[in-house]
Structure formats: C-alpha cells, structure tokens
C-alpha cells in the first residue's frame, strides 16, 4: 500500500510534465520527451492502482477470515518481483528502450515477473480464504478479478505470436479488447474491497450476501467479459461483435439508473457517516461513478464514438475513471488500512479534509477542460476543411492552460492527503527498525466490529 502511494505521487508529477509539454512542446525534449513521459506517467498510475488493489485484497482477506495469510513468504516474493520489475520498467523508459504496446510500452520480457507475481497472488489468495461455501459477494469479486486480470494481461501479449501480429485487424481487436476487460478485472478487486470497507463502516454484514449484491456482481462480470466493444467500433471487424457489445454497454444504464434511484438514500447515508474520513472518499467516488458513466454511456453509442475516438474525450474518460473512481476508492481503503497500523499517532484528519476538497474541485475543472478540448478536436477530425493540426492545437491552448493549472492544484490536494498517511506509516516503520515491536507479531487489523 505504501509503495503504491509513492507511485501515485510520482505518476502525478510525470503527468504534470506531460501537460506542460502540451503547451511547450520542446520542454525537456532531450531527456524526457512526451514519448517517454506519457508511458512513465501512465505506468506509474496504473501500477498505483494495481498494487493498491492487491494490497487491499491481501489486507482485507485477513480481516474477513480473522487469520493471517496462507504464506507470508509468497507475499514477500510477490512484493520483491514487483519491486524489481517496476523500477526496471521506468529505467527502460528513461533510456528510450520500448518494444511493448500502448499502456505496456516496456520490453515484453519485463512482463514475465509481473505474471509470476500475479500467479503467487492467486495462490496465496485462494489458499487464504478457505471454502467457497456461503462466501459474501466481495470474495467472489476478488477471485474473479484476480483470474480475469491474469487472463487479460496474458491476452494483451498475444501479439508476440506471429499468428496474431501478422493480421493487423485481428491484432488490434485482441489488443483493444484486452485493455477493456483488464480495467473491468481490476475494478472487481477495487469494488470488492470497497464493499468490504462499506460493510466495516456500516456494520451490516448481510448486505454483501444479498440478492441485489450478487445481481450487481453478475452485471459487472457480464460487462467485464463483453462490454469492450466500444474500443473497437472504428475497426472493420465482425458486426455481430459490435452489436453484442453495444447492447451489453447499455446494460450499464441499469447501474446508472440504480444510482439515481438510490440517490436519496445515499444522501442520508452520507450525512450519517460523512465525518468518517474513509467514507468521504467513497461518497466522492460515487459522484464520479455517476459522471463517468454518463460520459461512458454516451461514448458507447457508435454514432458518438466515431467522433470521440482518439480525442481528449477518451483521455477525460480514462483519467476521470482512474482518478475519480479508482483512486478515490483506493484512498478510502488506504486511509482505513493504514490508519490502523502499529503507530499510536493518529492521522491528521484536518489535512485530509482540506486535500479532499482541493482535489475534488480541481478534478472537476481538469475533467471539463479535457472534455471541451476533446469536442473541439472531434470537430477538427471530422471537418471537411483541411485545417492544419497546429491551428487546431492553438485553438485548444486555453483549455490546456486550465488543464495544467487545475492539474497542479489537484496534485497539491493529493499531496496534502498523502502526507499525513505516509508520515504515520514511516513513524510506524521506525518503531519496527528500533526493535520496539515486531511486525510478525502484529495482530490482524480490523477494529470495527460487525453485527
Ligand atoms: C491519480 C492521478 C492520475 C491518474 C490515475 C491518471 C491516469 C491517466 C491515464 C489512465 C492516462 C491515459 C489516457 C489515455 O490513454 O487516453 C493518462 C494520460 C495523461 N495524463 Fe494522467 N492521471 C493522473 C493525474 C494526472 C495529472 C495530475 C496530470 C497533469 C496535469 C495528468 C496528465 C496527463 C497527460 C498529459 C496524459 C497524456 C494524454 C495524451 O496522451 O494526450 N494526469 N493519465
């Protein structure tokens, strides 16, 4: 969890340099050109999400069973594999050694330790939770999330085989499909942990065994498997694939409808628990789920997708969901799991509250500026007049300036949140280093009792 928070901090700084390069194209071109900064940014934030999601599952499964993990050795091995491969990936980017595909631009050989680490995670998790009988929905979400992530990650490397690589349409279809499902897989891990956290806060165990919880789980699973079609609308592939995925995408409207339907009760729930720092992040994520789903459902309509594809609307969609939903949910989990650590010092909640508001307001402005820039780019893309690229980019400049400044205040907000959390953890490690306590003898976390 701590490593993932550091990756988040680093990733945002890379993102800011990238945003500056929108406005000053030659900035740092010799050392960190946009070709390097984009993968450095995207990989850091993707690894923030993946490591934090893994961390939350490994912590919460112990709270669920009341027992330690099956093997501490496997966890250490898993952490070592990630701790070696992630810096190696960053070094390869800085040296300009690529060889991979978009989002995983590093040389494919570096994917091997990640696959190995994920298999260890799967073994450790399945051995830790015990029987399949009468398990709550979050255990199923974690299990399917882990399996599907492994499957889709391997799928995203099928291009290394000439059979896939030699046909560009097949190659891109598999590639774009795998990314769509992979996000669904990590969402399963994060949503599962969020349900566990909500249960801890409310104290109601029954909710995660209810029919509604399982109905939503199956809708999510169905979408994870078949909802990637909007990624490939622009490819000349089989129409039936596009029709099926269009229909599946629209099932997300059910989830959207449910959010609106439950809005009143969520507001009253929020009023009861809003003083709880972790819960506040859950509320923010709820609002971002609503905004992101609105945009996603629109983008899944083929007639609109033709315009949005390849514009900043896609970037707004990617960042709105990974920041507004994934990052806020993971921060809620980080606040919960790390505030319950060995150190007696409590997290300074005033700081977190300030950071929370700064981040949310900035993110909204950041997101809107990208959407507007995207609309203007879409108009340019489809225009029959041959307006030069540079003229279009000049038109987008005011929105890039807003993007850059709201990005800066957003980073400040995130840092204000991260500072007290990390400070507390570091003081906790000092206790271990000084030998005052032994981490192996720590009790299982989880202070909130459930009915
Ligand atoms: C929690 C923090 C963040 C997350 C999770 C995140 C996530 C992402 C993702 C997933 C992409 C890929 C988008 C795509 O391929 O369409 C991206 C691209 C990008 N992000 Fe971020 N981001 C974060 C913060 C920031 C910040 C603070 C800035 C700076 C103001 C920033 C600037 C950029 C830029 C310039 C790109 C490249 C877009 C392009 O290719 O044109 N990001 N980010």
Average pLDDT (214-227) is: 82
The predicted structure's pLDDT at residue 451: 34
Q: Is the shortest distance between the CB of 5 and ligand 1 below 6 Å? A: no
The predicted structure's pLDDT at residue 256: 57
Q: Is the shortest distance between the CB of 113 and ligand 1 below 6 Å? A: no
Report the nearest-CA residue for atom 29 of ligand 1: 16
> Where does the pLDDT of residue 269 fall: very low under 50, low under 70, confident under 90, or very high at 90 and above?
low
DSSP 213-242: HHHHHHHHHHHHHHGGGGGSTTS---HHHH
Report the nearest-CA residue for atom 32 of ligand 1: 15
The predicted structure's pLDDT at residue 450: 37
Residue at 191 is within a domain? yes
Cα gap 285→301, rounded to integer Å: 24
What ligand 1 atom has the least distance to the C-alpha of 366? Answer: 30
Average pLDDT (307-324) is: 91
> Where does the pLDDT of residue 444 fall: very low under 50, low under 70, confident under 90, or very high at 90 and above?
low
DSSP 54-94: HHHHHHHHHHHHSS--S-HHHHHHHHHHHHHHHHHHHHHHH
Are residues 83 and 224 both part of a single domain? no
Average pLDDT (201-220) is: 80
Asked if the model's pLDDT at residue 427 lies above 80, the reply is no
Average pLDDT (416-426) is: 87
Are residues 182 and 111 both part of a single domain? no
Q: Are 108 and 99 in contact (CB under 8 A)?
A: yes
Asked if the model's pLDDT at residue 425 lies above 50, the reply is yes
Asked if the model's pLDDT at residue 98 lies above 80, the reply is yes
Asked if the model's pLDDT at residue 5 lies above 90, the reply is yes
Report the nearest-CA residue for atom 30 of ligand 1: 407
Report the nearest-CA residue for atom 1 of ligand 1: 323
Asked if the model's pLDDT at residue 317 lies above 70, the reply is yes
Are residues 235 and 301 both part of a single domain? no
Percent pLDDT > 70 in the chain is 88
Residue at 182 is within a domain? yes
The predicted structure's pLDDT at residue 447: 41
Are residues 438 and 296 both part of a single domain? yes
Mean pLDDT of the chain: 86
Are residues 176 and 126 both part of a single domain? no
Residue at 199 is within a domain? yes
What ligand 1 atom has the least distance to the C-alpha of 102? Answer: 15
> Where does the pLDDT of residue 264 fall: very low under 50, low under 70, confident under 90, or very high at 90 and above?
low
Cα gap 356→317, rounded to integer Å: 21
Q: Is the shortest distance between the CB of 219 and ligand 1 below 6 Å? A: no
Residue at 271 is within a domain? no
The predicted structure's pLDDT at residue 448: 39
Report the nearest-CA residue for atom 13 of ligand 1: 315
Q: Is the shortest distance between the CB of 402 and ligand 1 below 6 Å? A: no
| Residue at which a domain ends, from 108, 130, 152 | 130
| Residue at which a domain ends, from 261, 282, 315 | 261
Domains identified in the chain, total number: 3
Residue at 156 is within a domain? yes
Are residues 382 and 247 both part of a single domain? no
The predicted structure's pLDDT at residue 268: 67
Asked if the model's pLDDT at residue 296 lies above 90, the reply is no
Residue at 448 is within a domain? no
Average pLDDT (408-430) is: 89
**Pocket probe mutation, ligand 1, options 9, 15, 393, max atoms within 8 Å of Cβ:** 15
**Pocket probe mutation, ligand 1, options 186, 315, 374, 415, max atoms within 8 Å of Cβ:** 315
Are residues 91 and 146 both part of a single domain? no
What tens digit of pLDDT does each residue of 349-370 get?
A: 888 899 999 999 999 999 999 9
Q: Is the shortest distance between the CB of 69 and ligand 1 below 6 Å? A: no
> Whose CA is closest to 101, among 34, 172, 37?
172
CA quadruple 180, 186, 192, 193: dihedral sign: negative
What tens digit of pLDDT does each residue of 235-259 get?
A: 777 878 777 777 777 776 666 566 6
Residue at 275 is within a domain? no
Are residues 333 and 381 both part of a single domain? yes
**Pocket probe mutation, ligand 1, options 18, 180, 296, max atoms within 8 Å of Cβ:** 18
The predicted structure's pLDDT at residue 433: 75
What ligand 1 atom has the least distance to the C-alpha of 315? Answer: 16
b/e map of 399-425 (b: 16 or more CB within 10 Å)?
Answer: bbebbbebbbbbbebbbbbbbbbbebb
> Where does the pLDDT of residue 207 fall: very low under 50, low under 70, confident under 90, or very high at 90 and above?
confident
Asked if the model's pLDDT at residue 262 lies above 60, the reply is yes
What tens digit of pLDDT does each residue of 121-149 get?
A: 999 999 998 888 889 999 999 999 999 99
Cα gap 442→342, rounded to integer Å: 8
Are residues 297 and 432 both part of a single domain? yes
Report the nearest-CA residue for atom 3 of ligand 1: 323
- Predicted TM-score (pTM) of the model is 0.90
Report the nearest-CA residue for atom 20 of ligand 1: 15
Q: Is the shortest distance between the CB of 103 and ligand 1 below 6 Å? A: no
Are residues 126 and 143 both part of a single domain? no
**Pocket probe mutation, ligand 1, options 16, 41, 46, 50, max atoms within 8 Å of Cβ:** 41
Residues 6+ apart with CB under 8 A from 417: 331, 351, 352, 355, 356, 359
Are residues 21 and 59 both part of a single domain? yes
Q: For residue 155, how far is its CA from the centre of ligand 1 (angstroms)?
A: 24
> Where does the pLDDT of residue 423 fall: very low under 50, low under 70, confident under 90, or very high at 90 and above?
confident
> Where does the pLDDT of residue 174 fall: very low under 50, low under 70, confident under 90, or very high at 90 and above?
confident
Containing domain of residue 391, as a range?
291-442
What ligand 1 atom has the least distance to the C-alpha of 326? Answer: 5
Q: How far apart are the first and last CA of the chain?
A: 28
The predicted structure's pLDDT at residue 420: 87
Q: For residue 4, how far is its CA from the centre of ligand 1 (angstroms)?
A: 17
What ligand 1 atom has the least distance to the C-alpha of 18? Answer: 35
What ligand 1 atom has the least distance to the C-alpha of 411? Answer: 27
Largest CA distance in the chain: 72
The predicted structure's pLDDT at residue 277: 83
Q: Is the shortest distance between the CB of 42 and ligand 1 below 6 Å? A: yes
Q: For residue 140, how far is its CA from the centre of ligand 1 (angstroms)?
A: 31
Residue at 63 is within a domain? yes
Q: Is the shortest distance between the CB of 410 and ligand 1 below 6 Å? A: yes
Q: For residue 336, how far is its CA from the centre of ligand 1 (angstroms)?
A: 26
Are residues 43 and 137 both part of a single domain? no
Q: Are 78 and 121 in contact (CB under 8 A)?
A: yes
The predicted structure's pLDDT at residue 449: 38
Q: Is the shortest distance between the CB of 45 and ligand 1 below 6 Å? A: yes
> Whose CA is closest to 325, among 420, 188, 135?
188
Among 215-229, 256-270, 314-328, 409-423, whose mean pLDDT is lowest? 256-270
| Residue at which a domain ends, from 95, 130, 165 | 130
Report the nearest-CA residue for atom 14 of ligand 1: 315
Q: Is the shortest distance between the CB of 33 and ligand 1 below 6 Å? A: no
């Amino acid at each position: 969890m701590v490593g993932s928070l550091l990756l988040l901090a680093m990733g945002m700084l890379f993102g800011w340099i990238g945003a500056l390069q929108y406005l000053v194209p030659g900035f740092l071109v010799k050392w960190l050109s946009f070709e390097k900064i984009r993968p450095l940014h995207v990989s850091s934030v993707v690894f923030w999400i993946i490591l934090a999601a893994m961390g939350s599952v490994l912590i919460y499964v112990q709270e669920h069973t009341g027992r330690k993990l099956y093997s501490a050795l496997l966890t250490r091995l898993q952490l070592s594999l990630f701790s070696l491969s992630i810096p190696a990936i960053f070094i390869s980017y800085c040296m300009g050694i690529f060889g991979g595909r978009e989002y995983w631009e590093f040389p494919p050989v570096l994917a091997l330790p990640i696959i190995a680490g994920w298999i260890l995670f799967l073994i450790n998790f399945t051995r830790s939770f015990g029987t399949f009988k009468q398990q709550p929905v979050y255990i199923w979400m974690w299990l399917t999330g882990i399996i599907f992530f492994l499957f889709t990650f391997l799928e995203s490397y099928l291009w290394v085989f000439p059979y896939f690589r030699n046909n560009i349409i097949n190659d891109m279809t598999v590639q774009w499909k795998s990314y769509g499902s992979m996000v669904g897989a990590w969402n399963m891990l994060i949503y599962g942990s969020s349900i566990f956290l909500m249960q801890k806060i409310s104290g109601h165990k029954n909710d995660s065994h209810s029919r509604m919880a399982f109905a939503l789980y199956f809708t999510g699973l169905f979408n994870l498997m078949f909802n990637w079609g909007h990624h490939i609308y622009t490819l000349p592939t089989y129409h039936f694939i596009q029709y099926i995925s269009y229909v599946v995408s629209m099932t997300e409207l059910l989830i959207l409808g449910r959010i609106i339907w439950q809005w009143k009760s969520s507001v009253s729930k929020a009023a009861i628990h809003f003083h709880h720092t972790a819960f506040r992040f859950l509320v923010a994520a709820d609002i971002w789920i609503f905004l992101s789903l609105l945009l996603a459902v629109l983008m899944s309509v083929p007639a609109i997708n033709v315009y949005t594809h390849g514009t900043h609307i896609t970037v707004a969609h990617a960042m709105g969901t990974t920041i507004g939903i994934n990052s806020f949910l993971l921060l809620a989990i980080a606040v919960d799991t790390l505030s319950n650590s060995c150190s007696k010092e409590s997290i300074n909640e005033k700081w977190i509250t300030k950071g929370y508001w700064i981040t949310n307001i900035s993110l909204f402005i950041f997101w809107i500026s990208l959407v507007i820039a995207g609309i203007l780019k879409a108009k340019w893309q489809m225009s029959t007049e041959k307006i030069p690229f540079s003229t279009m980019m000049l038109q987008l400049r005011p929105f890039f300036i807003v993007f850059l400044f709201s990005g800066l205040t957003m980073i400040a907000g995130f840092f204000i949140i991260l500072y007290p959390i990390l400070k507390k953890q570091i003081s906790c490690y000092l206790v271990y280093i000084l030998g005052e306590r032994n981490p192996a003898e720590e009790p299982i976390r989880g202070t909130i009792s459930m009915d």
